[in-house]
Structure 1
């Protein structure tokens, strides 16, 4: 059990004892009560030290967690609340606190129909009830698409990663004629551009599988799970999107953005490595250091004629070719009446 959870159990136990009007608790009694409470939760002997309980009482008295509990020692021996109606669960909140919690509730409500957050519906309702939340419309709107195909798979994939289970996924990529079985060791879930991907190990190589191409998922208990111990921030640090190459080194990508669009790129960098090389009245030259993948190309193409890639040469030529091809498509376009 985590130390934070242990502390919460001790605080709850101490609160129950300190508000008990019919029993006198010494420090030793409080230690015994906390040890017994932890034993009930953990199912094994858990001795709580005298120093731990003394620190807990000190923290409850202080402003550290917002309790400021009126704990007194009478007859130099017994502990109780000087206010018989006090409890750490009855902490009052001011108007500012209520507004902050109400704003948080409005944001959480946007996830109520999202698969992973369905179990939170009751929690959100309790929050609304407890803080007297109004029926105001949400001021903060998050970009999401609950109708996106594949969201129904998130729960089982999440559980597979959490519990380290090998999964057998029936998968059909966009360019495949038939579905194929992928026996994978799931590592991470990644959202990019409003689509979800599973980062997994398959036949010794890392893959990213789009959730909207998954047809069915089954757990395979016979195969031992291989944990790659991936850290998402570290794994994706050199890319835009989800496609990571184990062999490709990140390259310096230098590009020009005209003056009307440069402020958007300055305030919303294409990658955390982004820096400004130079700028003038016509525009700004930026540099990012990333692996070259399809997601990066699509992002750069999305700026249209407002962005020009300078380096690397191979990427510049590929962008040029795609713009030429796009231009020809419009030139040859026959629009039906």
Structure 2
């Protein structure tokens, strides 16, 4: 059944996309400032609105407490995020009742930070976004809401290399982005697994609730990961890489991993150290830098790189 809304007292006159932009700006502000007064929130939204108005002077701004209450209801419906008012602290805040709330707020901000800039097409000649978008990103809001509400979800899943889909009923825990792809971290038959959203179809949120607290520590599980693969039994390795001075400058501005550090600088060469799992994701990243990087340690990584290069050489013979 289609919902019909009557905005008799419209305080912010803009497109539907404009309303959505306001919702995310409210969430962004409250994720940065707990117990935000209506006055502070109003000032923040007005500043954001003025940026949009530079490119569309037909927009008008009049924000009221009634508008905010309506927005709070929509934010709860669309994002599954509860915003409440604290009389004791005289401000609005996001009610966080589970261990993943901060992660989800950061994810929501990341999802929308650039798309919000183009809501009115006002910056299309200033901000250029990658046209290659990940498939099934439309599942993100529903998955986030299911996680916040602690509901099970069900979907059909097709693994790479297989021809038949399987139906998965899982306890969703979190979402993770890597290399322009989104992944669901979920408990599937008592095991924590990753599922690529681009391989999902027919996703539905079930009425069945998750009746337990799932033991999951994101930082612990992914502490030594590069990418999405998190081995359950392997130990991480101390990796030493030799890179050119120019390549080192790139890696210092965008580190391969949080453990990355400079071991030494010698002439035009720089030795970089990090502690990671030796996974396909990490090997692919090393190979992508070609002749500008050399693996010094461990031997296992050197051997696997050599195997890939040998196979590649045979492929082009």
Aligned residue number for residue 240 of structure 2:
254
Q: For 1:137-176, what aligned pairs fall within 5 Å after superposition?
A: 137=124, 139=126, 141=128, 145-146=132-133, 148-176=134-162
The whole-number CA distance in structure 2 between the counterparts of 1:272 and 1:247 is 21
Q: Which runs of 5+ in 1 are unaligned?
A: 13-40, 60-106, 114-120, 126-133, 332-337
**In the alignment, is the contact (CA less than 8 A) between 2:150 and 2:209 conserved in 1?**
no
Which of 1 and 2 has greater Rg? 1
Q: How far off its partner does 1:6 sit?
A: 6.6
Aligned residue number for residue 171 of structure 2:
185
Structure 1 209/329 Cα, relative in aligned 2: closer, same or farther at 3 Å?
same
1:194 is the counterpart of 2:180 = yes
Aligned residue number for residue 229 of structure 2:
243
The whole-number CA distance in structure 1 between the counterparts of 2:131 and 2:176 is 14
Q: Deviations over 1:267-325 (max 9, x none)?
A: 32111111122232342121101122221111111111221212221121011010111
1:307 is the counterpart of 2:293 = yes
Of structures 1 and 2, the one scoring higher in RCO (CA 8 A, sep 6+) is 2
The whole-number CA distance in structure 1 between the counterparts of 2:37 and 2:175 is 30
Q: How high is the TM-score relative to the length of structure 2?
A: 0.61
**In the alignment, is the contact (CA less than 8 A) between 2:171 and 2:210 conserved in 1?**
no
Aligned residue number for residue 115 of structure 2:
111
Structure 1 251/143 Cα, relative in aligned 2: closer, same or farther at 3 Å?
farther
Q: How far off its partner does 1:176 sit?
A: 1.5
The whole-number CA distance in structure 2 between the counterparts of 1:330 and 1:173 is 28
**In the alignment, is the contact (CA less than 8 A) between 1:149 and 1:211 conserved in 2?**
yes
**In the alignment, is the contact (CA less than 8 A) between 1:259 and 1:283 conserved in 2?**
yes
The whole-number CA distance in structure 1 between the counterparts of 2:113 and 2:222 is 29
Q: Which runs of 5+ in 2 are unaligned?
A: 1-29, 42-71, 73-84, 92-110
1:219 is the counterpart of 2:208 = no
Q: For 1:312-327, what aligned pairs fall within 5 Å after superposition?
A: 312-327=298-313
**In the alignment, is the contact (CA less than 8 A) between 1:185 and 1:225 conserved in 2?**
no
More strand by share: 2
The whole-number CA distance in structure 2 between the counterparts of 1:10 and 1:261 is 48
**SS at 2:316 equivalent:** helix
Q: How high is the TM-score relative to the length of structure 1?
A: 0.57
1:8 is the counterpart of 2:12 = no
**In the alignment, is the contact (CA less than 8 A) between 2:175 and 2:185 conserved in 1?**
yes
